[in-house]
Amino acid sequence: MKGEGFEDLIRSWDGEEVLARFDEPAGAWMFVCVHSTLMGPATGGVRMKTYATPHEALLDCMRLSSLMTLKTAVSGLPMGGGKSVIAVPEVPAPGSEERRRVMERFGMMVGSLQGTYWSGPDMNTSEQDMDVLWDVAPYTFGRSPARGGSGDSAPDTAEGVLHGIKATVARAFGSPDLSGRTVLVEGVGGVGSRLAELLAKENASLLVADIDQERVTEIAERLAAGMVAPGDVIGAECDVYAPCAVGWTVNEETIPRLRCRAVAGAANNQLGELVHDAERLRRAGILYAPDYVINAGGAFHLIGYETLGWSRDEVDRHITGIGDTMTRIFERADEQGISTELAAERIAKDRLAKAGNPPTR
Ligand code: PPY
């Protein structure tokens, strides 16, 4: 993509709507990207992050938004795909006055859409932020339980990823048993740390990596895991590489250096180029669990509890089902000789096509 302006970027995207706002008090760019409302109101979390340029922030927002359309469709959730980004020069401290004000001003933007887009937690945004948003724009998932919300979805995301990893290991090695399988968890934040705990309980041979040295040391000691330096993750030998931090780590440059049998983790946007990198992985004999399928546990939690009235049992059933969905995708990919990414996309797009063409009575 040439040019620094937003127009080329927005026109290259197949989404429905983009809102952009420059927030002078915080020096922040705010974007809401509505990719699709075919299945229902667009939904997806709000990410707060420092980017090199607003262009990069918008690109991230658009790609994450497209993935949400695939995530809700492949998961059978009656919502569309959206995402938003608050691109700040520096992330304001949680609980600070500055933080609250930024969230309020972002909330006005979400409110102006009157329900076309529903927000929720994402990287660097928490249930406290969702409480603030809710007061300005009641189109928000993930408030705190004290405010009537379903609270932290990270444990359910981690649980879903565990089921996805088991299905992946079963496909790659013939058995879902994780004991002795080496799993490298990259990023031990809210989801990654819980995933590491679940894997340790399954007696997996655990490796952990994080840019936060203190956090990774604590987890490694507590779970008797090996530590890998952040710069050595890509070449590290393991059975499963589980990216649980930033996206775009699996790309044309890194794929030839991967020393794993499978990629299955929680991060959004793991592939640099969705279709091409999935095909590169297939040719390299590395089994890929599409990110938006394996990490849908958070969406089941938020949408299930807060709009579909699901019980704990129903949420659990859907989270366990992530393993079955993954198995179906692996089977389809093999049958059709295509990447797992394309197989997942086809399932999602079939559902979207049906939503776009309701049967005539
Ligand atoms: C994600 O799953 O990537 C999210 O953005 C979390 C989410 C899911 C569903 C509604 C709102 C936020």
CATH number of the domain at 28, please: 3.40.50.10860
Residues 144-161 have pLDDT tens digits of: 999 999 988 999 999 999
221 CA from centroid of ligand 1 (Å): 31
Domain count for the chain: 2
Whether 2 has a pLDDT exceeding 60, the answer reads no
CA-based R_g, the chain, Å: 20
Residues 195 and 338 reside in one and the same domain: yes
Tell me which long-range contacts 246-252 makes (C-beta under 8 A, separation of at least 24). 246/187, 247/60, 247/291, 248/272, 249/186, 250/277, 250/281, 250/288, 251/277, 252/276, 252/277, 252/280
- pLDDT tier, 247 (very low <50, low <70, confident <90, very high otherwise): confident
Is 37 a domain residue?
yes
Q: Which of 36, 60, 68, 305 to mutate to test ligand 1, by most ligand atoms within 8 A of the CB atom?
A: 68
> Active site includes 83?
yes
Q: Which residue has the tokens 């705990």?
A: 197
Is 138 a domain residue?
yes
Query: Contact, 71 vs 114, CB < 8 A?
Result: no
Is 48 a domain residue?
yes
321 CA from centroid of ligand 1 (Å): 18
- Determine the pLDDT at residue 220: 98
Residues 184 and 263 reside in one and the same domain: yes
- pLDDT tier, 361 (very low <50, low <70, confident <90, very high otherwise): very low
User: If you average pLDDT over residues 223-251, what whole number do you get?
Assistant: 96
Residues 4-54 have pLDDT tens digits of: 689 999 999 999 999 999 999 999 999 999 999 999 999 999 999 999 999
Is 361 a domain residue?
no
179 CA from centroid of ligand 1 (Å): 31
142 CA from centroid of ligand 1 (Å): 9
- Determine the pLDDT at residue 1: 43
Residues 202 and 340 reside in one and the same domain: yes
User: If you average pLDDT over residues 61-79, what whole number do you get?
Assistant: 96
Residues 209 and 232 reside in one and the same domain: yes
Q: Which of 2, 49, 71, 83 is catalytic?
A: 83
Residues 174 and 281 reside in one and the same domain: yes
- Which residue, 98, 122, 142, sits at the end of a domain? 142
Residues 159 and 264 reside in one and the same domain: yes
Is 19 a domain residue?
yes
Residues 29 and 55 reside in one and the same domain: yes
Instruction: Output the furthest CA–CA distance in the chain (Å, rounded).
Output: 62
For ligand 1, what atom is nearest to the CA of residue 67? 3
Is 302 a domain residue?
no
Output the domain CATH number for residue 195: 3.40.50.720
Is 277 a domain residue?
yes
- Model pTM score: 0.95
Cβ < 6 Å from ligand 1: which residues?
43-45, 120, 122, 141, 268, 298-299, 302-303
Name the closest-CA residue to atom 10, ligand 1: 44
Residue 138's contacts (CB-CB under 8 Å, 6 or more residues apart) are none
Residues 113 and 170 reside in one and the same domain: no
Residues 17 and 158 reside in one and the same domain: no
- Determine the pLDDT at residue 356: 75
Whether 3 has a pLDDT exceeding 60, the answer reads no
Query: Contact, 102 vs 23, CB < 8 A?
Result: yes
Domain encompassing residue 53:
6-65+82-142
Is 70 a domain residue?
no
Residues 341-358 have pLDDT tens digits of: 999 999 999 999 988 765
Residues 38 and 175 reside in one and the same domain: no
Residues 135 and 192 reside in one and the same domain: no
Q: Which of 47, 292, 302 to mutate to test ligand 1, by most ligand atoms within 8 A of the CB atom?
A: 302
Residues 171 and 215 reside in one and the same domain: yes
Structure tokens at 99: 């933080």
253 CA from centroid of ligand 1 (Å): 29
